[in-house]
């Protein structure tokens, strides 16, 4: 039986230093250009909620997503912050305080279609950025959120297709989402279902070190600020014994 110290493995192999801020600025420029192209894609309900929030109006643009399900994504932007929130990213997540979690999930819920009533099933924080997963039956959404003194923004993607439930010691990928292109994309996320015996999940990317996902209420999720896609997702039980890795379809 092979036992793995997951945190030690992630810390040893994860990249260190500041995440590329120039890449983030290129992504912002691409988003602003796409906003003009996809101006008609702004959902009326979400736009009205953004105006009521009392902050600068947020506009929407389409983003890329994948896996076996159809994915729709949106970017909510305000004025860019002085320091990129993505620069604070860590390979091992933390739990946000209740007030931060509530603000993040409320912002992310503003992007949902009118025919769903999702509830948060997972919330994690890496540096200044919070990732939320919302779900309602076969509908699920992953949303990255950050807040600054003069701006607030969230990036969300949703799917209406669920995989078969995993075994007790396994995982099932629901979807992944990223941004515009390999040269501009500053972040990627993957999320899915975790069996009842799964205590930890590690995401191995095609490039870069492993990322430890958050496991909560039968779900797992992780995000990272590069365009490197997830290659495999591996579950571990409470003893550190790995289960069968699952390839992430694209």
* Whether residue 144 has pLDDT greater than 90: no
Label residue 91 by pLDDT band (50, 70, 90).
very high
**Distance (Å, rounded) from C-alpha 14 to C-alpha 29?**
28
Strands 171-178 and 64-66: antiparallel
Kindly report the backbone phi and psi dihedral angles of residue 213, in degrees, each rounded to the nearest multiple of 5, phi listed first: -85, 160
- Backbone dihedral angles phi then psi of residue 19, each to the nearest 5 degrees: -65, 145
Please report the pLDDT score of residue 153 as a whole number: 65
Residue 31 phi/psi, 5-degree rounding, is -60, -45
Q: Predicted confidence band at 148 (pLDDT cuts at 50, 70, 90)? A: low
Task: Locate 19 and state its tokens.
Answer: 């995440």
pLDDT, the chain, mean:
74
- Residue 123: the pLDDT is 98
- For the chain, state the CA radius of gyration: 17
Convert the pLDDT of each residue in 183-231 to its tens digit: 334 688 999 999 999 999 999 999 989 999 999 999 999 999 888 899 9
Residue 54 gets which letter from DSSP?
T
- Give the Cα separation of 50 and 53 in Å (integer): 5
Domain assignments of the chain as residue spans, ordered by start: 6-247
């Amino acid at each position: 039986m092979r036992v793995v110290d997951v945190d030690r493995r992630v810390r040893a192999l994860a990249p260190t230093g500041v995440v590329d801020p120039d890449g983030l600025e290129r992504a912002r420029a691409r988003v602003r250009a796409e906003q003009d192209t996809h101006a008609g894609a702004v959902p009326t309900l979400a736009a009205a909620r953004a105006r009521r929030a009392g902050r600068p109006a947020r506009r929407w643009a389409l983003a890329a997503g994948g896996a076996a399900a159809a994915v729709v994504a949106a970017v909510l932007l305000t004025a860019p912050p002085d320091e990129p929130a993505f620069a604070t990213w860590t390979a091992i997540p933390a739990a946000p305080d209740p007030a931060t979690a509530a603000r993040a999930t409320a912002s992310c819920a503003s992007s949902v279609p009118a025919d769903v009533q999702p509830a948060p099933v997972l919330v994690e924080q890496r540096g200044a950025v919070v990732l939320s997963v919302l779900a309602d039956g076969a509908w699920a959404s992953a949303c990255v959120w950050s807040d600054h003194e003069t701006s607030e923004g969230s990036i969300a993607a949703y799917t209406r297709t669920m995989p078969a439930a995993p075994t007790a010691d396994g995982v099932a990928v629901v979807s992944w989402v990223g941004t515009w292109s390999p040269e501009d994309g500053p972040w990627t996320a993957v999320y899915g279902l975790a069996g009842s015996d799964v205590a930890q999940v590690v995401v191995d990317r095609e490039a870069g070190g492993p990322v430890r996902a958050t496991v909560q209420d039968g779900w797992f999720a992780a995000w990272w600020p590069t365009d490197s896609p997830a290659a495999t997702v591996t579950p571990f039980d409470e003893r550190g014994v790995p289960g069968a890795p699952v390839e992430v379809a694209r």
